[in-house]
Amino acid sequence: MKTILITGCSSGFGLETARYFLARDWDVIATMRTPRDDLLPPSDRLRVLALDVTDAESIRHAVEAAGPIDALVNNAGFGAASPVELTPMATLREVFETNTFGTIAVTQAVLPQFRKRQAGVVVNVTSSVTLKALPLIAAYRASKVAVNAFTESMALELEPFGVRARLVLPGRSPETSFGDNARAHMHGFDHEAYADLVQKVFAELSDASSPITHAHDVAEAVWRAVTDLSSPLHIPAGADAQAWAAAVRRD
């Protein structure tokens, strides 16, 4: 029986990924800052653990409680949106603390067991915006690009030990709490200098005809990353992410 630990399972991609692996007979350790037992179907193959990826003690306790695992999915994160000049440094640090340093810290806590067993896979969920520059999300995009670079180098380090690292790059999804979280960290959108740009960006994001990413797209991409030994390092998830990745390859 295989075991997977997934961070950020209270909603969105993490929750759907936990459901996906449960349905395929994996043992699932679903982690979230405030554990809830009502989000996933009752199962003797499910454990819900508390995990705050920005807290070293929380990480240590969760990894110890989890015991041996076969796969780690770093999904926890949040968005932020604001013009660069109006982004408080406190917000920038908070974004990196969760999205970047939190991912690295959880990975570091799990790698020793993978290396010793010479088996395991780390899947880091970042974003398709790492493939294409967009305005107003510089802090968020930078935090995710950093995880991409971290993962790419880590993959080379781990290869001699039989341990894999993969990246899943979701596109824009209305099925997550990303928008609500981002709104809580918006700054400067009422500044007259950026009014036209903000209006343009929001009009593009609200275009119902544009392709989007569904939560199950991400769950399927994570499944591929974990179970398919021939999967590529970068796996776009969702129609929009796949289109962006194709465009980058053409360029």
pTM: 0.93
Residues 76-92 have pLDDT tens digits of: 999 889 999 999 999 99
Q: What is the DSSP string of 146-214?
A: HHHHHHHHHHHHHGGGT-EEEEEEE---TTSSHHHHHHTTB-STT-GGGHHHHHHHHHHHT-TTS----
Q: Is residue 193 over pLDDT 70?
A: yes
Catalytic residue among 140, 150, 223, 244: 140
Domain containing 144 equals 3-250
Is 16:30 a contact under the CB 8 Å cutoff? no
Query: Strand order in 46-50's β-sheet?
Result: 46-50, 27-32, 3-6, 71-74, 121-125, 164-170, 234-237
CATH number of residue 11's parent domain: 3.40.50.720
For the stretch 132-164, pLDDT in tens is 889 999 999 999 999 999 999 999 999 999 999
pLDDT > 70: what percent of the chain?
A: 92
Please say whether the beta carbons of 128 and 244 come within 8 A: yes
Q: Is 140 among the catalytic positions? A: yes
Number of domains in the chain: 1
